[in-house]
Amino acid sequence: MLKRTLIGLVRSHETTGEKAKDPALKTRYYKMSMDQVWEEVTNMFKKMNGYKLLHEVRNVGEIVVEKKTITGRTQDITLTLFSINPLKTAIDVYSASRGSLGDLGSNYRTILEIYKQLDKRLSAYKDLS
């Protein structure tokens, strides 16, 4: 966690992906159709405190949300959903803080929070492969 805070002194964004060095930032896979995952994700953000669903672009698989941090900064978060096949969907998250200073690791913590909520909601469908 200290390393994340130190990186966050200068960096104000975080992203997940296939090749992420940190296992917590690896792409998540769920054994559900993209439509089902889409509904779950958008419903989740409507219920999560501090998050505001800004817009959804279903044809490119993007859901954009905004989060206000404790320090009053705003984070712009983009979730990208990929249909791997009719019964498997992947989710990546990109989170960036507005402003010029680093985020002290808050984007990293936001992504972990989002993934934790997704894993809780979709635990029966999580694909560990």
Compute the mean pLDDT over every residue in the chain, rounded to the nearest whole number: 90
| Beta carbons of 31 and 127 less than 8 angstroms apart | yes
Q: What is the CATH number of the domain that holds 40?
A: 3.30.310.220
Window from 60-64, 68-72, 84-88, 89-93 with minimum mean pLDDT: 68-72
For the entire predicted model, the pTM comes to 0.90
d(CA 116, CA 123): 10
pLDDT digits (tens, 9 = 90+) for 2-46: 565 555 566 788 999 999 999 999 999 999 999 999 999 999 999
Q: Closest Cα to residue 78, out of 62, 54, 99?
A: 62
Domain range for 24 is 2-127
| CB neighbour burial string for 36-73, b if at least 16 within 10 angstroms, e if fewer | ebbebbeebbeeeeebebeebeeeebebbbebebeeee
* Count of domains observed in the chain: 1
Confidence of residue 101 (pLDDT cuts 50, 70, 90): confident
pLDDT digits 0-9 by tens, 83-100:
999 999 999 999 999 987
What span, in angstroms and rounded, lies between the C-alpha atoms of 25 and 19?
9
